[in-house]
Structure 1
Amino acid sequence: MRELAAGYAARLPGRDSESLASGLGARLVYTDLGERDGAYDPEHRVILIDRKASPQRQRFTLAHEVSHALLLGDDDLLSGLHDSFEDERLEQAIETLCNVGAATILMPPNLMSDLLRRFGPTGRGIHELSRRADVSASSAMYALADEAQGQIIFAICSRAGGKKLEEGSSGRQRRAVLGAQRPVVVRASAATKEVKYTLGAGTVIPDDHLVVGVLDSGYEVGGRSYVPFRSGRKMPAYADAYPAGRSGVLVSFRLEEKSEKQPDTQSPDTQNPDTGKP
């Protein structure tokens, strides 16, 4: 799938929406799709995109639907999928491969290698990839985690949503809600292949963690810190946190090398530090 998508991307005249669809000779139609983000009609060569989605979501959906077309055109790959999966698992496998294809089209290998060379697998690296590829921070994070080397956990963190004010709330109630300090939580997380677990969504970041300081100050910070798992365990790591406006704080945790006295936390018989379960 990566090879198909990379070859397609290399032939495109540009990375704008019309160019992304041009390789298929397909027509783009923006319309209301309800709960669906997009669809591809191979008979009429039409790609449908939900017009209510955000521009970044529309862009990724377009690349995803292009990947569907590429997959349908590769008999060997399609046959292999049908031999290996069936029913819901087949649909899941196809959707996963199309996400892989979309990421490859929007974030080609040359862009990934350049960003890793200049910024490394850091919070700043996630931000730059998101900006240059015009994709969401989460899409950039997943792509970077797939390419980076070493034991690294990535996360997107922001303040938890506050309580909603009911109509007719008193001034005192409003001040109490608006003045409450909402905790910083993990919105999304990913990890490199060398790490077998991630930070669970909703994990609270302690107030003394450098991520909270970056969110409050707006300044990029890197230094020795820890991964704050939901179970309360703190795994030593070098943290690199980058403030990204509405996206919150983009952070990478490079896990410290294990010494002989430290347990092998990634072996199958140990517990996931985020859940306390194997």
Structure 2
Amino acid sequence: MDATGNGVDRRTLLRGAAAGAVVLGGAAVGVGVGAPAHASGFYNPFTGYPISDGWQEHIDRGSLGGIDYVMSVGTRLPACGSGTIQNIPYNGTGGHTVTIYHPNGYRTQYMHLSAFSLANGTAVGAGATVGLSGGAAGAPGSGSSTGPHVHWHMINPSGVRINPLTYLAGIGGTLPKTTTESDGIPGPIMWQRAQNWLRMDHGYTGPIDGVPGVNTYAALQRAMRGYGYTGPIDGVPGPNTWAAVQRLAAQWGYTGPIDGVMGPNSWRGFARFVNQDRFDRTS
């Protein structure tokens, strides 16, 4: 049994690493296959999780360096930037490891995974899910981990392991613009930008992962107080929440009814709002 409680054996993991998504609970976990490989948009997808061991702590105990973020086994791991995927099953003390080869020559590695999400060679954009976190002591793929977390580091073009937070501080940590503004289809990048707006202006403290949940929606409801929303802050959006979002969208080109039913035109207006330059930076 793997750390998620699903029966995924070594052969299945190796086959998934080489040819496709690992199947968990009867459903493929693959996300983002064929996504465009944008050259920009590096960011920290783990800002909402506590750090158990920082870069210096790793160095002090003889590691080459890394950042450990505490999270439940099975948490989706978004790519911190665009690139192509290489999966390394049972990578020594690092356990199951996914590497993202970025267009600028840098590499990102996430370690102690419970499952891979994509096939080797898959092109991904920033924010695409590349694996599921693991790290439960003794679980397949956990390597030397003693508790659930993901280990993150980067490798520069010279092959030297570097602190990703230092790297991001140097480039500014920016999100790409969402295409929802043109196609009216909400997706992970749109929600990442929405989460970043809510982090900056409305007290959201969760991850910038493009996967809206109760905390994202609760922050959205707080933000919508300024647009006529009077319901509970319960993280369960309904027509009243979405009607307020449409009032916001109306200030950004939406001309449809305020009926609480989000369609492509409503999402386009909302996307114009979150595509503002001031919501590009995540650090």
Q: Which has the higher contact order (CA 8 A, sep 6+)?
A: 2
TM-score, length of structure 2 as denominator length: 0.27
TM-score, length of structure 1 as denominator length: 0.28
Q: Higher Cα Rg: structure 1 or 2?
A: 1
